[in-house]
A and B are shown apart, each in its own frame.
Chain A
Amino acid sequence: MHPSLIDLVHISKSFDGELVLDDLNLSVRENSFVTLLGPSGCGKTTTLRIIGGFERPDAGSVIFNGENITDMPPNRRQLNTVFQKYALFSHMNIAENIAFGLKIKGKSKDYIQDKIQYALKLVNLSGFENRSVDSLSGGQQQRIAIARAIVNEPKLLLLDEPLGALDLKLRQDMQYELIRLKNELGITFIYVTHDQEEALTMSDTIVVMNQGYIQQMGTPEQIYNEPENAFVADFIGESNIVDGTMLHDELVEIFGAKFACVDKGFGVNKPVDVVIRPEDIDLVKPSEGTLTGIVTHLIFKGVHYEMEVTTPNGYEWLVHSTDMFPVGQEVGIHVDPFDIQIMNKPESEDEEAVGVNE
């Protein structure tokens, strides 16, 4: 099994009296690709900066390879960061940028030359040595920033929304590039983003954060299919989150209709949140549906149709389907038991705070 490379233990941090991280615990295994995902202000970047050594936690410790590095300055940590805005040194050319860390460590000229060639080849920018930073596109600059970091052979690479400034096509290309790099180099990546698609595509593990708390941690599939609370469900993909009552194990009542599900252990007649993904709703004949409603909205999205179905109580269900039902038509709603996700309603105030903001 992979041992843990970095552990954040009871980390708290506040800025100007505002709590940004509250008793955060996180363990990252060696050779994994971990993504910190959350909306802006959720504390993900602060977490990364604490690992990088640019911020010091108010409480708690950072354990790296079994060593407590909480008070170690960034220049002595065996990890490197790829910054959001590349942070290339504009007065140096590409080769000098890449060589920066190696020169400081006093490596030999030949070693540095080799490393520059190797790194440029790795990021597909061979021959760019003497170019100036300004003459590169955003994607090229980001690849140089990555090259500059990896020549130092860090055990851990921190990436702070590295693709945020790139356009969609470039971003998708770079996502594959990053996965390839990670596999070739065997370095642990901690990746910060607010883009759930990016997180789902690249990560081994996703850590969903909000308001200084970790909401859920798991594989992309777990996060997507079994969100633990309404926030995660809402943040990852699109969802219908409705109030329901758990009548007993494997049966939930929604808007007066009974749905079979696979969840157990919530008790009897317990109010719960129910998450149903739009693509998991099957539209059937009204007579065959558990609930009935009328199609009130229809958009063609290419891969599927996006529809809104309003049930008599006024709730608008979001539905993705490859079958088209025209506006005004009455339809039945059917959901397979394993597509229904039951979540506890938040009880404490803290949990309430992470609730959905719609």
Chain B
Amino acid sequence: MKTIQSRLKRFFEDFYLVFTLIFLYAPIAVMMVLSFNSSKSRSQWGGFTFEWYRHMFESAAIMDALYNTLLIAFLSALIATVLGTVAAIGVNGMKKLPQTLFMGLNNIPMLNSDIVTGISLMLMFIAFGISLGFKTILLAHITFNVPYVMLSVLPKLKQTSRYAYEAAMDLGAGPVQAFFKVVFPDILPGVISGFLMAFTMSLDDFIITHFTRGAGINTLSTLIYSEVRRGIKPSMYALSTVIFTTVLALLLITNFAPAKAPKEDRREGRQTSFGTAFRRTAMIGAAFLVCIGVGYTSFRHFASTHSDELFVYNWGEYIDESVIAQFEEETGIHVTYDLFDTNEEMYPVIEAGAIQYDAVCPSDYMIQRMAENELLAELNYDNIPNAANIGEEYFTRSEEFDPGNLYAVPYCWGTVGILYNSRRLEELGISPPTGWADLWDPRYRGEILMQDSVRDAFMVALKRLGYSMNSTDEAELREARDLLLAQKPLVQAYVVDQVRDKMLNGEAAVGVIYSGELLYLQEEAEALGLDYELTYVIPTEGTNIWIDSWVIPYNARNKENAEKWINFLCRPDIAKKNFEYITYATPNAAAFALLAPAYRENTQVFPDVSSLVNSEVYRYLGTEADDLYGALWKEIKAQ
């Protein structure tokens, strides 16, 4: 009896432990597995591959971000360690009351939320006219790292006897010599753990880096974040896997190495000299690394102060990178290329003027808002002759947000429509949808995926009701809200990126989706060998036509270069190259003519714009309307 009971107890103890570990590590394991998945899908296994690792190491953006991350982590940790150690020595010498006070002040920044630290640092840099870039990230990281170093060094200093330092002085050592020969070896474990902590904090940081970084510089965290828009690429899983294993290795080394050292010391005096030799080598190595790092960055810094420069601010994954290289080669202009993920993220950056971009690629309504707030410079079309390649109908559409086509040259465009799984519909016995109204068919219960964004959700309802999707009429909007509430029981989920994956996996019958995803989806479906077809339809009631266009901010320092850039992108061969990479519809008529017939005949991706009579372009509605939309949307989501 007893043995069974204790065995059972033992079993549950083990089970609980394993369960906890699974809970902690399963997500990481999933990510690691996916990094070897040849399919981009997150839930379909397409075979084992090293493709993403290859892609990761070949990607200049990733390698650059990795380099920046490591360099910033190393330099900031190193500098913070020096500053923090010196400060800790000073604090240690203070009387009790000032010391308590000072350490209290020291601890506040650590408890402070990152976002406050990030924003205040950014504001300070701007206020003092320090242009955001590598050095501001470095300064920011040093700033938040110093308290951690102090916190780890101070206890060691308190353990160290003051007499050891005095004894060294007594034996003829000067103050500096006495410190390095006697005090420093004693506090070294604290200094090292402070350094490692600072290194990790820097490596980890996203928010503060996000606010203090400038044009053309990314760390891994900001790079990964900017990938979110189009869905994280599997090479990011590969990267995360590499980071995780590296950190794990570092952890193992730091946890097991120091436990061994003192034992050896005690057993055999000679080991100590080996220890010092090792330490010396490590120090020289570190100093060497710093020299290389500083040298390289200053080289990069000087290399980047070209007379001919261009600062570009674009969506992530929104250009074929070889196009940038080609532009640089042909014009001799050095391009600093930076990424944003949402219009709303881009706007304050331009508004603050902290980073002076020359060419930016916002969406329709945001261009209107920027123009209304006088953030844009008028284009000189004499410098952009290739703008003639853009189809006239797109410029006509653009007038809705850019009257007179003063500011914007269309770059990519698309529609919002319904994607449906033909086989699933057959099973349900429903004929394919043709309009938004079909999304209220009760037979779709649990089969509908809606976009999880205010304007997109309301667009569907407003269009179904026959109103403008830019409506600010409260009665119309309430009607739309009621309609969406009525639809809610049918909806499987409100999602953004997952529409793509869920449709690929056959999890839903219909989904509201941006047409930009189509080509990718269809190619992926083919690659996975799916036995069902995913078809896209533009609803008859009309939909949202979105146009992302190139504009030049009012404070651009290199306006002519920006115009050269826009002109270059309008060149048919370049536009074709970009289309093939981005797979979003191009408004470039000359480029369209060069495309493979399969593309040209794909009316899902390239519908006839002039036939989309009921469709509209988003307009900026002002804050009052924004608030109304927001409040109504909340009611829908809350129910």
Q: Which residues of A contact B (CB under 8 A)?
A: 52-54, 73-76, 80-81, 83-85, 87-93, 95-96, 100-101, 104-105, 129-132, 134-135, 145, 148-149, 152
Contact = CB atoms under 8 A, between A and B. Distances in A.
A129 B269 contact: yes
Interface of B: 161, 163-164, 166-175, 177-178, 181-182, 185-186, 265-266, 268-270, 272
A74 B170 contact: yes
Q: Which 3 A-B pairs have the closest CB atoms?
A: A130-B269, A101-B171, A87-B163
Nearest to A130: B269
A78 to B, nearest CB: 10
Contacts, number: 82
B163 A73 contact: no
Contact of A75 (B169, B185, B268): B169
B186 A90 contact: yes
B158 to A, nearest CB: 15
Contacts of A92: 272
A101 B182 CA distance: 12
Contacts of B166: 52, 54, 74, 81, 83, 87
A145 B166 CA distance: 13
A90 B170 CA distance: 17
Contact of B265 (A54, A89, A101, A132): A132
B164 A87 contact: yes
17 contacts: A52-B166, A54-B169, A76-B172, A80-B170, A80-B171, A81-B166, A83-B166, A85-B161, A87-B161, A88-B167, A90-B164, A93-B272, A96-B272, A100-B168, A100-B171, A104-B171, A130-B270
A102 B625 CA distance: 82
A132 B270 CA distance: 11
A52 B266 CA distance: 33
Given A90-B186, A130-B268, A132-B269, A85 B163 contact: yes
Given A87-B163, A100-B168, 11 more contacts: A73-B174, A75-B170, A75-B172, A85-B163, A87-B166, A89-B167, A91-B272, A100-B173, A129-B269, A132-B265, A132-B266
A91 B268 CA distance: 13
A80 B172 CA distance: 9
A73 B182 contact: no
A74 B269 contact: no
Contacts of B268: 130
Given A93-B269, A135-B266, A101 B164 contact: no
A74 to B, nearest CB: 4
Contacts of B270: 130
A278 B181 CA distance: 54
B269 A91 contact: no
Nearest to B266: A132
Given A95-B269, A131-B269, A89 B182 contact: yes
Contacts of B163: 83-85, 87
Given A84-B163, A91-B186, A75 B266 contact: no
Given A85-B163, A87-B161, A87-B167, A152 B172 contact: yes
A79 B161 CA distance: 21
A132 B178 CA distance: 20
A104 B170 CA distance: 11
Contacts of B186: 90-91
Contact of B172 (A105, A131, A145): A105
Nearest to A83: B163
Nearest to A104: B172
Contacts of A101: 171-172
Contacts of B266: 132, 134-135
A81 B162 CA distance: 14
B56 to A, nearest CB: 43
B269 A75 contact: no
Contacts of B174: 73, 75
Nearest to A74: B169
Contacts of B185: 89, 91
Contact of A152 (B164, B171, B181, B269): B171
B265 A104 contact: no
A84 B166 CA distance: 12
Contacts of B171: 75, 80, 100-101, 104, 148-149, 152
A83 B169 contact: no
Contacts of A91: 185-186, 272
Contacts of A75: 169-175, 178
A131 B269 CA distance: 6
Contacts of A148: 167, 171
Contact of B170 (A52, A130, A135): A52
B167 A83 contact: yes
A102 to B, nearest CB: 9
Contacts of A104: 171-173, 177
A100 B163 CA distance: 15
Contacts of B272: 91-93, 96
A89 B173 contact: no
Contacts of A131: 269
Among A52, A83, A105, A129, chain B packs the most CB atoms within 10 A around the CB of A83
